[in-house]
Amino acid sequence: MPLNDMPWWRWRSNVRSALHMISDPVFQRDVWRAGLPGYGDITDAVYRIVEDTWLDNWSAEKYVGTIFRDSQEAALVDVAVLRVLKILHQVGADAQVDAYLDHPAWAEAVRAAREAHVRMATADQDDPDAPPRTLEVLAILNRTA
């Protein structure tokens, strides 16, 4: 199914984009560690996950049928969000990228984000292994239906 078949597909797009970036160690090395512009930083990615959804306050299960397709997808997102937020709270929202990427629990956060990203991308008939899109491309996609 296409991404925009969900009622709140723009929120889904933002969550997917952030999980995609968090789930890709090559992207993190080549973009976040290198400080390349156009993709935001880790804090920006976390913000895209929680800003509209409030997934830092309640379960993704609340959004099954609006943002997430089913309970399994929501459960995978919950695991990823909790792992990433735990690290964010330990290192601080304003921490340098290395504080996140070198955190002992980061690899597990990446794995959880990967599981959620693959499930969501596959359900949306997208290639989960394609490189993450820039924030400019995300904004353009979020303007079109």
Per-residue pLDDT of the chain (145 residues; tens, 9 = 90+): 566 788 899 999 999 999 999 999 999 999 999 999 999 999 999 999 998 899 999 999 999 999 999 999 999 999 999 999 999 999 998 899 999 999 999 999 999 999 999 999 999 999 999 999 999 999 998 887 5
Q: Are 6 and 53 in contact (CB under 8 A)?
A: no
Q: Are 64 and 70 in contact (CB under 8 A)?
A: yes
Global pTM reads 0.94
- Where do the structural domains in the chain lie, given as residue ranges? 3-143
CA dihedral 104, 106, 111, 113 (to 10 degrees): 160
Sign, CA torsion 4/77/17/51: positive
